[in-house]
Amino acid sequence: MTSIRTNNISLEYSEYGNGEPLVLVHGSSSDYRTWQNQINEFSNHFRTISYSRRYHWPNEKIPEGADYMMSEHVEDLEILLQKLDAVPAHLIGHSYGAFLCLLLAIKNPSLIQTMVLAEPPVLTLFVSNTPKPLELLSLFLRRPRTAIAILKLGMKGIEPAKTAAKRGDIEEVSRLMGRAILGDEFYNQLSESRREQVRVNTIKAELLGSGFAPLGPEELREIEIPTLLVGGEKSPKVFHRLLDRLEELLPHTNRVQIPNASHIMHEDNTEAYNKDVMSFLANYKQAV
């Protein structure tokens, strides 16, 4: 691993292979190790860069009382791409990391060639971080299936996890969010090493801080970057509904579903995930 400094903080990263830059952006409760099953495949074709986002292992932990701000993570990614001369990059993002890729595409699209977005939690397309009853009622009238899925995620995962975070029970935060986001079946199947990765990267400020950045439909309609949306066949329904909306809004989009996989589909079914991503990138290279 090598360090790079962005916004007065050091980020650990590694790079492999040669060719056009491809950057892997991990999600919550995770770090660069989540991509270990992609590195060999992708680096045969691309200069593949994997980094741990700020406050994620093995970087410095978040200071007590600091916010966990999406805007800072977007700026980190922007600076990393520029400092490593990795532009325009193919961005591959998972979950929170996929949301960051979307925000960078809105802010500075010239840095990006293509995007692969696995189930970004774009809840703020529909409701605020702490939705009011009228927001939820309005969503129920417009998109009842989406409203039910978001409400279930909030009641089963986010709200009880926030309560656990306030009392400093990180183990309970990990358990609650893991079950809500992966589903019981896939959470129970996590190896001990993967559970440890979750534990060391569960950051209470992510739940108790400023939350997800606001996101508007018009911003997404203006993104011209070719994008592959990736879902897990057995992911909780909320992620299916969020991908439905992104597919409606993004103008240059393909979509695939990874069989026998939940939210961390690149780990659950590596072969199918790698095949679909490489096919998308190969088709893009043939078209340009």
Mean pLDDT calculated for residue range 135-141: 93
**What is the model's pLDDT at position 288?**
80
CA distances from 224 to 115, 149, 198 (A): 11, 29, 34
Mean pLDDT calculated for residue range 183-210: 95
List, for residues 238-274, the tens digit of each pLDDT value. 999 999 999 999 999 999 999 999 999 999 999 999 9
**What is the model's pLDDT at position 75?**
97
Query: Considering the chain, what percentage of its residues have pLDDT values greater than 70?
Result: 100
DSSP 26: -
Mean pLDDT across the chain: 96
Q: Are 85 and 112 in contact (CB under 8 A)?
A: no
- For the cut 90, the answer to whether the pLDDT of residue 71 exceeds it is yes
**What is the model's pLDDT at position 155?**
93
Q: Are 46 and 113 in contact (CB under 8 A)?
A: no
Confidence of residue 236 (pLDDT cuts 50, 70, 90): very high
DSSP-derived pairing of the beta strands 112-118 and 47-51: unpaired
Q: Are 112 and 89 in contact (CB under 8 A)?
A: yes
- For the cut 90, the answer to whether the pLDDT of residue 1 exceeds it is no
β-partners of residue 112 are: 89
185-192, long-range: CB < 8 A, 24+ apart: 185/234, 185/262, 186/234, 186/262, 186/263, 186/264, 186/268
Mean pLDDT calculated for residue range 1-15: 92
**What is the model's pLDDT at position 31?**
98
User: Residue 124's closest CA among 212, 207, 209?
Assistant: 212
**Which residue is associated with the tokens 């292979």?**
17
List, for residues 141-194, the tens digit of each pLDDT value. 999 999 999 999 999 999 999 999 999 999 999 999 999 999 999 999 999 999
Spatial strand order of the sheet with 21-25 comes to: 2-6, 9-16, 47-51, 21-25, 89-94, 112-118, 227-232, 253-258
**Using CB atoms within 10 A of its CB, is residue 284 exposed (0-12), middle (13-18) or buried (19+)?**
middle
* Predicted TM-score of the model (pTM): 0.97
Mean pLDDT calculated for residue range 70-88: 97
285 token code pair: 């290279």
Taking the C-alpha atoms of residue 124 and residue 280, their distance in angstroms, rounded to an integer, is 27
**What is the model's pLDDT at position 190?**
96
Task: Tell me the residue type at 32.
Answer: Y
58 token code pair: 């093995």
CA 133, 136, 141, 144 torsion-angle sign: negative
84's CB contacts (< 8 A; 6+ apart) are 4, 13, 15, 21, 49
